[in-house]
Amino acid sequence: MINVFVYGSLLFPEIADGLCGQTVKSEVATLKGFARVAIKGADYPAIIPMKNSEVKGKVLLHLNEKAIGLLAFYEGNEYKIVPVEVETDSLIINAIAFVWKAGYEFLEDFDWNKAQFKSESLEFYRDEIIPATVKEYYNQ
């Protein structure tokens, strides 16, 4: 079983649970040595290595290989899977994170806006993108 640090659309249970096909257990977590940034023209963020920075997010706990495959498919080729250590209130947990690997020229110099995603994009992701992604994943 694998733990996954999430920091963008997957912070919302509707998205994570919808992709994984189950209610996913999670904990609030912090990833040090990275920064979260907005992506130009996109409603989802990236994380990039950055000293003296940290990203607040969640760690999705105990996911199986099928769920990891779906999450990787959802994240796409712009990200690479990187092993990380995240801190919860009481533990340091080994996890993986999806780290931006496409060019930095696609990134903004400011953080992604979770509240804006919730108000402008969450319903569309929940109702359209997630079901289409799951269907496409199983039809590939």
Query: Would residue 75 show up in a list of annotated catalytic residues for this protein?
Result: yes
pLDDT band at 46; cut points 50, 70, 90? very high
Q: Is the pLDDT of residue 140 over 90?
A: no
Burial-class residue 139 by CB neighbours within 10 Å (0-12, 13-18, 19+). exposed
What is the residue range of 10's domain? 2-139
pTM for this predicted structure:
0.95
pLDDT-above-70 percentage for the chain: 100
pLDDT per position as a tens digit, 53-98: 999 999 999 999 999 999 999 999 999 999 999 999 989 999 999 9
Q: Report the alpha-carbon distance of residue 69 to residue 86 in Å, rounded.
A: 21
Q: State residue 50 phi and psi, 5-degree precision.
A: -160, 115
Other residues' Cβ atoms within 10 Å of the Cβ of residue 13:
14
The residue from 27, 75, 105, 123 that is catalytic is 75
Count of domains observed in the chain: 1
Mean pLDDT of all residues belonging to the chain = 96
Do residues 2 and 63 lie in contact, with contact meaning Cβ atoms separated by under 8 Å? yes
Q: For residue 84, give the CATH number of its domain.
A: 3.10.490.10
Residue 114 has a pLDDT of 96
